[in-house]
Each structure stands twice: as structure tokens, then as C-alpha cells.
Amino acid sequence: MFVESDRDSLGVFQPQVGLVSVDPKTGYILAMVGGTNYDETNFNRVLAPRQPGSTFKLFDYTAAFDNGVTFPSEIVASQPTNFGGWSPPEWLGTNQWFGRISVANAIKQSSNIIAAKTSLRTGLDRIIYYARKMGVTSPLKPYASLSIGSFEISPLEMVEAYSTIANGGVRITPYPIRRIETENGTTIEEHNFAATRVVPASTAWLVQTMLRGVYENTSNARISGLQAAGKTGSTNDWHDAWYDGFTPELCTVIHIGNDATRANMSAIRNAGSRFPAMTWKAYMLEAIKLKKQTYFGPKPEGISIRTICDASGLLATEACPASSTHSSYFLSSHVPTQTCTVHPPILQTVRLAAEDLTKLAPTDWPDSRVVVRTMLRNQVPTEVYQEPITSEPITSGSELSVTAFPKQFKVGEQITLNLDVTQPVGSVAVSFDVYIGGSLVTSASSLPVTVTYAPTLAGSLEIVIVGRTASLDTVFQAASTVQVQP
């Protein structure tokens, strides 16, 4: 792909490469490559500021997660967006967008729109503050384009920042020399590195988890059996391309690009997922022979797991199809509380047996023996109440006294009824439901009770009072029948 004749106007082979590899636990620089040929050019590109592209999103999401601005499952729209005169594209191509996408997938797919939206919600000054905490010293300004890496940063600064996440949020400034000794082994000077926690362990672990998804999604970097994390980055016209990847033992940043705009890279599509990722993989295949790589640690304190609906990105409910849910990690301090809005709970109105509310009432039961409730469909009982075999009816010892005015019941005429019951010995009824003609007319907390009623049909009319306990269990039922005249 890159041939020897690809040289700039100064005769320097292009593109060039910068590689720096650090032990995240100590900050010790294990490898540094400043260019393709030191004899041709001794310029150390590891120290040269370059636009980091999407690798800068590390700071966007670290700050956003840490401050509860967003969470991995939140659904955000990737669509044409004007950020105060700046309308970034997605890398997919002209007028191509991801649509509704979760933040976790936006990181994995490297969405520019979602990164910009997230950064503006978080605050650009806050993004810069986190970049500074994690090791960036190059000039940064609070412009919206900062979110996708428009300001130049050196690979050495980026390896310090990514090492901070690899090291669980603890920053150690990289250094090339451990100690200086005389020829007989006497130590003249020794470097004592300083470790400073700048990101909470829980936030660093959550960001690690997101970047592990990026690594798994980058086929040119992925190595079978190696657990790693990383982020790609590319800039306009494919001028700069990055792959910043790490394991618990090794953090390596690779930049491939031109020293200046003199050479055109657009013809070879110098994307971070291509040449830098391939270079990182080739380097790691050799590095793992020399240094055993381990797995990332288990989730630390401060991380919670919830079941999330894919469609809404919110807490799943019983109404969400199981096939459309997944488990997601959150900072315990910023767990979403809203439940799915795409799949509202499926409700059903049911008739329950008043004697046992865990069972359905038989279909032929009158309303006087039924409690009507609206329940989630998956909580509706399936068993129908069966009458117990007993020689004593439930109305035993209860007599209903009915006093009417006027005394004669006629169709269409309103009647005032005074109802009272001689309750059975030991009754603990605290509420009294009045049914006339099989329909609930009123409920009272004490007896006697006065109701008004206008009969609609001539003939026998049954009046029933059901006494219930506080738990709605029926303790007695008293009935009386009157005749309604036409």
C-alpha cells in the first residue's frame, strides 16, 4: 500500500508513524518509535501534536459518565444536526446516519453526532478539565468540534490518558528511564513515579468496558484470546489515523499520517481501523510473547447491573419481550429510574373472588361476591375459586332490614332506602358494599346506610349488603327481596 516512491517535497517517506507503548501500572515507556527511518529523519513524531480524531472521545464519555450526563443504554439520535454553524458528518458517508442508537453502540460505531451532543450536554469546559486531569497539556479551546478531536495532541499525551483508564483511573506520567547506574552497578539517579487518582475506579471500569466493545468490533486489531480495549481515530481527508489500545499490562498508541499536508492520503483511506489497527495488532502479537497479558478486573464497587429494553434504552418491564432486552452496566450513582416507554405494561381488568383475591371469581357469580381489579396481564390468577363444602351459608346470622320512602316501589320513581344489618356474632366487617339488582350501588364504612335508587324493571328486586374485612374478605352477606310495581 505504501511504496518507497511515496515521498513529500522534502524527500521524506510518507506517511510516517509514531508509536509509544507504556506499562500503565508504572508509566514506564517500554517502546517508542518516532518514524519509519531514523537515518532519513530523526524527528520524533511521538512528541508531535496531531489531530486525534475520534480517539478524543475518551474524554467526552469519561466526563459524561462520571457526571451522570448520560449512561451506556441511553438512546440518542444520529441525524443531521447544526451545532451553532458546525454540522459534522458521520464517517458512513454523505447524508448517512446511524439513526436512533445507544450511547454504548455510538462509542463502538464512533458516531460523531452522538459525541458532539454528549459533549455539549456535559459542557466543553468540563471535557477540557478531564483531558487535563488525564494528561493532556496541549492547547484546547471549548469549540464544539473539540468533541471529535479537532485540536492537536501528541501521541505521548494520548498514551498517558489511555493508560489512566487502563490503570483504573490512576494517572502516572510516562517516563523513559528507570534509573542511571555506573558500570559497577551503583545507582546515580532513580525515577520515582507518582500515581494520582484522577478518575473514580468505577467510571474508569465503565469506560474500559465500552472500549472493550470497540476493540471487539475492530477486526484489524482483534487478537484471538486477548482481552483488550481500544479506540480508533481518523481525521478529514484521512490525514491522521490512530489506534489507541490497551490491556491491563500494556497501553500502546499508534499514529499514522503525513508530516504535513504535502502528501495526499485520501486515495488510500487512511482510517484508524485500517493501518493503525493492523500495526497495533502486529506489535501486540510480538509483545505478548515477551509479557504475559491478563484480564481486566471484575466490576468494582460503584457499578450496578440492570436489565434494559433494547427499544427504549430504559429499564425493562414485564411487558418488554425477553428477546429484546439485555443487561447493562451503570454507575451506581447514576442508574436510570425511568421504565420502558416503548412497551407499556399490558393491563387487564379481572373479576376476583371476594373470598380469595388470589383466585378468579366463577363466571356465574353476582357482583356482590366479586372484587373487580385491573392488573398486569402476567399477574392475573389462572385458578378459579371453588366453593368450599360447608353446611353453614355465609349469610348465617345476618338479617337485612329495609325501610323505604315511599313505601311502594314503582318503575322510574326514585326511592330512598335506609338499610341496616344485624351482624353475626364475631363479625369484623369494616366496609359494607350495597348491591341492588346485582349491581354495586355504594360502599359504606358503617351501618345503617342510606341510598337512593330508581327501579328500571318491574318484578322482584334483590337488595344485598356484603360485609368485608380490611383485606376485602367477605364475612357476611345479607339479602332481601322487594317487589317493584309497573
In one-letter notation, the amino acid at residue 73 is: S
Cβ count within 10 A of residue 187? 10
Q: Is 369 helix (H, G, I), strand (E, B) or coil?
A: helix
Of the segments 99-108, 368-377, 462-471, which one has the largest average pLDDT value?
99-108
Contacts by 275-278, CB closer than 8 A, 24 or more apart: 275/1, 275/241, 276/232, 276/241, 276/242, 276/243, 277/218, 277/220, 277/221, 277/230, 277/232, 277/243, 278/220, 278/221
pLDDT tops 80 at residue 348: no
Cβ count within 10 A of residue 66? 22
Q: Over pLDDT 70: what percentage of the chain?
A: 94
Q: pLDDT tens digits, residue range 213-231?
A: 999 999 999 999 999 999 9
Q: pLDDT tens digits, residue range 220-273?
A: 999 999 999 999 999 887 789 999 999 999 999 999 988 876 455 555 677 888
Q: Which CATH class is domain 16-180+189-290?
A: alpha beta
Q: Over pLDDT 90: what percentage of the chain?
A: 57
Q: What is the pLDDT of residue 267?
A: 56
Q: Which CATH class is domain 399-485?
A: mainly beta
Instruction: For residue 44, give every residue at least 6 positions away whose Cβ sits within 8 Å of its Cβ, in sequence order, or none.
Output: 18, 32, 34, 35
The residue whose grid cell reads 489511555 is 162
Asked which of 58-72, 148-162, 172-186, 420-434 is least confident by mean pLDDT, the reply is 420-434
Domain ranges (residues) in the chain: 16-180+189-290, 303-334, 347-379, 399-485
75 vs 94 pLDDT, higher one: 75
Instruction: For residue 299, give every residue at least 6 positions away whose Cβ sits within 8 Å of its Cβ, in sequence order, or none.
Output: 205, 305, 329
pLDDT tops 50 at residue 392: no
Strand 303-309, strand 347-353: pairing = unpaired
Angstrom CA distances, 175 to 157, 352, 360, stand at: 12, 74, 74
Q: pTM of the full predicted structure?
A: 0.71
Angstrom CA distances, 12 to 7, 142, 404, stand at: 5, 35, 111
* H/E stretch holding 353: strand 347-353
Burial category of 52 from C-beta neighbours within 10 Å (exposed 0-12, middle 13-18, buried 19 and up):
buried
Q: What is the pLDDT of residue 394?
A: 41
Same fold for the domain at 16-180+189-290 and the one at 399-485? Answer: no
- C-alpha grid cell, residue 253: 498508541
Q: What does the CA dihedral 350, 356, 361, 365 come to, rounded to 10 degrees?
A: -130
Q: How confident is the model at residue 389 (pLDDT cuts 50, 70, 90)?
A: very low
Instruction: For residue 37, give every residue at least 6 positions away whose Cβ sits within 8 Å of its Cβ, in sequence order, or none.
Output: 13
Angstrom CA distances, 288 to 18, 222, 228, 292, stand at: 20, 13, 12, 6
